[in-house]
Structure formats: C-alpha cells, structure tokens
Structure 1
Amino acid sequence: MTAPHPLPFPTTRLAVVSITRHGIALAGRVIAALPGATLFAPQKFHAEAAAAAPGACVCYEGKVGDQVAALFASFDGIIAIVSLGAVVRLIAPHLKNKESDPGVVVVDEAGRWAIPVLSGHLGGANAIAGLLQQAVGTTPVLTTASDVRATLAVDLLGRELGWTFEASHDEIVRASAAMVNDEAVALVQEAGSGDWWSRHANGRSGALPANIQRFARLEEVEPERFGAVLWISHRALPAELAARLRGKRVIYRPPQKTA
C-alpha cells in the first residue's frame, strides 16, 4: 500500500475502544503513535487502561453499547478493537449518512488487520487504516472499489488541497460508478493546483485512469458523451449547460486566492 494521506480531522477527534486486557495493550500502542487520541475501556480495566494510555483514557461503567451514541457525537473517527460482528450490531442503530457518520475501523486483538467498516472515504476510515499500518503494522482490508482498483475517488478529489465539492448524494454515486465501471469521464480544470493526482487523498501514483478525458474549459465538453463530468472551477455553472449536466456533474471549488 502507498503512504496514506493524513486524516481529514485531528487525532484529538479519534477514539480507540477496547473491551479486553489484550486489546487495551494494543490500544496503548495505537495512542502512542497517534498522540491526541483517547482510549475508552471498561471501568474494571481502569488500571490496565491508565498504564496503556497515561492521561489519555476514559473508563466507563456498564456496556460498551451504551457509549456508542456519545462516541458518534464527540469523535470523527473510531478505532474499535472489538469483533467485526459486534461492531456492526453496536453501530447499526446510530447510522445516519456518509456525510456525517464517523469513520469506523475494526482491528483484531492480535493487530493483524484493520478493516474500515463505515465512512471509508469522507469519514476517513480508509486513511485511519493506512495510519494503523504505519503505527502498529496492521494490514488494511480495503473494500471500496476505487481503492481496490487504484482509481480516482470523486468524493476525495482535491481534499488535501482544501477543495470543496458541490454535488448531491445521487450525483456522487453516479460519478463514482462511472469511474469504477470504466465509463468515459470528463475532467475539466479551470482553477486550482494541477498536482492533485500525485497528492491525491488515496496516495495514487502513475498515470491517470484511461477513462478520464481532460479539458481546459467546460464549454468544450459534450455532456452526452460522458457518464460523469468533474468540473474544477471558481465560475458559476453556465445556465445553458445546467440541464445537460444535471445528475452527472460534480463541481469542485479550490480556495480563492486572496490579495
């Protein structure tokens, strides 16, 4: 795996949850490598948690399931050293949408595998898994198609450069599907840094995917020829193209330069 991109949030927004002694020991290694993260463990393991993560642990009474709502509200990323099946059941009642759900990664007690379970892209779970590979030697288990195929993830394009995007959920889904299914995709860059591929949030290298055709102006594109149109610009969408692009465009907004 190539070097992971840094998290889309500070490590102070990262919770590490463990419910066993062996898991707490591993959690201590994680927190040592990711300063600012907080360990959550059962009160009965207070001594072990305090030793593993001095000054960075919170111990709770009762069931771990009772902590999930607060963890979702207070943290952007959760590393759960808990079985995958248990985590799925625990988080299921709290899921809202990919734009707001935290990134959740499951790690086994032996520290062999890091499995992004929720919000791999926008929530940063895939990035967390990459950092865990560096920190404790876990192997990321990535299942998102764009990562498996090492192609462009439309919901991450330019994020590390401060770009934002304008698109509905359905437009992101359609554009993502066009990318991973090798449909023709138009990429129009009128603004922003040109090195977004080499600095891409998924750590891509090599040539752009063959199904991407680049343009310098949106007016050069015939929308009907493409499964998706990715437009990087400061301009407002031209009214004469709005209807032809409806449902298939994602607009990226690089930061405006200030005088």
Structure 2
Amino acid sequence: MSKRNIFQAFFLVVALAILTFVITVGKASIHNICPYAIVCFGILKGNILILSLGLASLGIFLGILLMVMSMFWGRVFCAYVCPIGTFQELLFMFSHRRKRRQIPYYAEHKLSKIKYWILGINFVLVVSGFAWIYINFCPIYALSRLPALAPLGIITIMIIVIGGVFMERFWCRFLCPYAALLNIAQVLGALFGIRRRKIRRNLERCTDCGICSLYCPMNINVNRDEYVESVECIMCGRCAKKCPKTGTITIEREP
C-alpha cells in the first residue's frame, strides 16, 4: 500500500465517521465542515462579499484554504483526501475492467468543461438567493440526510456510481464544481506568479511508450510535454509509479 493509499484510507474512514455522526445526531449540518460548502453557499451572502459566519463558516473556510493550497501544490486534495474521489477509484478498480481504455483527448477536453458550467450556474443561483436548488443536488448533502431520501441528490449519486464504473473518476473529470473551482484557483495562482509543483518527464530517459498517459486517472496526455501543465492533474503520482523506467517521471516545482 502506497503513502497515498494510506492517506485515502484514513480520510475515507474519517469522512464515514463524520457522516455517521451527522446522520445519528440529525440536527448537525454536514456543510458546517465540508469544503464543498463554498460551492453550495459561496462567500456571497445577501449579495454582499463577506465570509459567512453562519451555517457553513468552517466548511467555507476549508474550501478557501484548499483553493489557496491548490495554487502551490495542485489538486492534491482530490488525490489524497476527497472521499468521493477515493470511492470512484475503488469503484473502477473493482469493476473488473481487464483492458484500460481512454476517451480521445478532444472529447475529454470538451466534456471537462461541463463542470465549469455547473459552477457558473450555481454561482448565479447563490447570488440570486436560490442556493437551495444546487444543495438539493449535492451528493454529500443527500448522504447526510439518510435514511430519508433526497431524490435529486440520489440522482447525482447514481450518476457518480454509474459513470464511475465505466470511467475512472468520472465525477472529478466532468461534473464536480469544486474541481472547477480548484482549477480556477490554479490559473489565478499562475497569473500572480506562483510556481506550483507539477509532474515532470525526463525527456532524455523517456521512451515515449505512453504507459503514463494510459494509466492517468484524469486522462491527461502526460508524455506530450516535459511538464504537465494541465490544471486537471491531481498529483496522484500514478504515472511515475507505472512508468517502466524508474526516475523518469518526478514531481517538481517548475523553474
């Protein structure tokens, strides 16, 4: 078991424990501590730019903190901490797919834009005072309401499960609005001159076998450039692990 797997297992257990507590207590809100709260509520309340000190204060704080972290380290939260991401990896692994296939990169690029539309629509809903519409679709919120059913949230969970069987990290790649927010944070960080850590391919050692790209859970063309510039990269390090030539792929801060 790798270090990343240990982190994933730990945070998955923590997430399940918190979820069990919220369901058992009944009155607690999962959004109090969930970083996804920044998507559900934003930092806009009453159409004034303020940090919410109410229902989701800690959750929004965590959401902002992870955005700042992504400027320096990329989307490590998605690879090491996020329980939905871990669940999707397990789901895909146990679906017994004998041969890995990836969709064409042009299709990946177009489909990955959907999550930005979801984020944009939700932003409008939050500003307009209709944040509850997206909250009803939130998979975390739906799980926290068990055993009661949140029909729209259950639909989202079904999409995550069905999509995750056929495509690894389906939700992360195409639909997750928080992933879109972390991507935007990385772009803003680059505009301010912040050099984040990236996957680097040693061009002299690389044989261009393409194994790194084949096993990338985010379907990134790793063996195209020296550094992986895509903000979709979750820094999981699987490309380095699968590479037949040890030391060819590393994680470094771009000079």
Q: Could you state the TM-score of these two structures normalised by the residue count of structure 2?
A: 0.29
Structure with greater helix percent: 2
Larger CA Rg, structure 1 vs 2: 1
Q: Could you state the TM-score of these two structures normalised by the residue count of structure 1?
A: 0.28
Structure with greater strand percent: 1
Higher relative contact order (CA 8 A, sep 6+): 2
